[in-house]
Amino acid sequence: MLFKKKTDTDFLNLLIQSAENSLKASHVFRTAMNGDQPPAIYVEQLKELEHAGDNITHQVYKGLNQVFVTPLDREDIITLATTLDDVMDGIEATIARFDYLNITFTDQIMKDFAEVLVKSCEHMVAAFKLLDKKKYQEIREHSVAINSLENEGDRLMREGIRAIFTNPKDPYHDFRLKEIYERLETTTDSCEDVADILDSVLLRYS
């Protein structure tokens, strides 16, 4: 059992912080998708959250270099930290596309994707809090929910791309939409990656 000193790294708390940071980002992204202003005005706010996420991930890596005994397998901690960072990066990368592709509008697909991301991040936060309390079996309901939300993300991307090719407009306009839809779907994939890793962890520890 790990007896913590003041200098020890609380890895599970850092993972919770990372999940909560992604949840904050998902709320900002949802506001960007549902607001009346161009989404790109939220670029800097999400960039700051992305930097905060990078800092948390760095603390995890630094801590792993300083301790020998960890609450979970070291590889699991690294993978969880990395995939959580992927979720944050995905949200930030999506809003960045609104900026450099000069997209000043949103549509229902984007708004629905934003809801999927918020719900997925809510389940991630809940799951990591349960992990910290060693309530492994209760994590399962959240990982199942995240997997279902990822399926919804797949559906949204297919629906969006089908609409592009069913009712084509200006090629540049269509390219920009496709870029956003595909990046959002990749981000929901990252949420599912977190859930899958949590499932593998609970199989070993429950």
Stretch 118-144: mean pLDDT, rounded? 96
Stretch 159-185: mean pLDDT, rounded? 95
What type of residue is 117? L
Q: What is the pLDDT of residue 115?
A: 98
176 CB-near residues (< 8 Å, 6+ apart): 97, 101, 103
What tens digit of pLDDT does each residue of 3-47 get?
A: 444 346 799 999 999 999 999 999 999 999 999 999 999 999 999
Please choose, from the candidates 133, 126, 150, 146, the residue with its C-alpha nearest in 3D space to the C-alpha of residue 19.
126
Can you tell me whether residue 144 is helix, strand or coil? helix
Q: What is the pLDDT of residue 151?
A: 98
What tens digit of pLDDT does each residue of 90-126 get?
A: 999 999 999 999 999 999 999 999 999 999 999 999 9
Instruction: Check whether 1 has a pLDDT greater than 60.
Output: no
How many Cβ atoms sit within 10 Å of the Cβ of residue 140?
Answer: 17
Token pair recorded at residue 85: 């960072």
Q: What percent of the chain has pLDDT over 90?
A: 86
pTM: 0.93
| Distance of alpha carbon 10 from alpha carbon 59, whole angstroms | 10
Which of the two residues, 68 and 158, has the higher pLDDT score?
Answer: 158
Strands (E), the chain: none
What tens digit of pLDDT does each residue of 184-197 get?
A: 999 999 999 999 99
| Distance of alpha carbon 73 from alpha carbon 85, whole angstroms | 18
Q: Which CATH superfamily is domain 11-205 in?
A: Phosphate transport system protein phou homolog 2; domain 2 (1.20.58.220)
Q: What is the pLDDT of residue 8?
A: 62
Report domain extents, the chain. 11-205
Q: How far apart are the first and last CA of the chain?
A: 16
| Confidence band of 155 (pLDDT split at 50, 70, 90) | very high
